A and B are shown apart, each in its own frame.
Chain A
């Protein structure tokens, strides 16, 4: 299995809602990433988890809360988002130390009303 899955594919939420994005991989990768991509822009790193521990937080606002319950699963909890947070949220994983190649999921298209 060489796939990273993300659910949901699309999400529309109001500014007062609480929602979660889910990412899963069964490749045994021990590094997992969240990226945010605005339209016509490259992906920008949000968080890095290494061996289930948060290792990089790129000064992301606290309304985004990541969680890594186990080595296969990565969540991004969303609360009190702003319309400017509307974007494609991409999850990726990597085999630590062996290579810098990352495997990306298809993304969740988030719209905040």
Chain B
């Protein structure tokens, strides 16, 4: 079952603009992750933010986490055409020690050159 929602479902921007994607989840978490998936390919881990962190940066990525609202956002700054992909947030499911991930519905980002 899906953990939550992501919005927007699709986002189209010009190269150089910033892209913001949001994710909501339902249960208590230890951490939240973001993954990228190029069309029809495997997922690539982008960043992990722990429940006691509010903000984390990695290169052009900035992730925030609000555990009181059970929500997270992913900001990609100065976007490039190569950032075109689907982005999923993920939390660990009920079998916590097994690390099984539950993914949000995803945001499909299109960056036009």
CB atoms of A100 and B43 under 8 A apart: no
Question: Using Cβ atoms and an 8 Å threshold, which residues of chain B touch A11?
Answer: none
Q: Mark A89-113, 1 if CB is under 8 A from B, else 0.
A: 0101010110111111111010000
Stretch at the interface among B62-70, B71-79, B96-104: B96-104
Mark interface residues in A1-16 (1 if CB within 8 Å of B CB, else 0).
0001010000000000
* Option from A31, A88, A92, A104 in Cβ contact (under 8 Å) with B98: A31
User: Which B residues touch A55, using CB under 8 A?
Assistant: 95, 98
Tell me the smallest distance from the CB of B8 to a CB of chain A, in Å. 14
B residues near A (Cβ < 8 Å) are 2, 30-31, 33, 35, 40-45, 48, 88, 92-93, 95, 97-106
Q: Pick the 6 closest A-B CB pairs, nearest first.
A: A42-B103, A104-B42, A104-B43, A106-B42, A48-B98, A100-B99
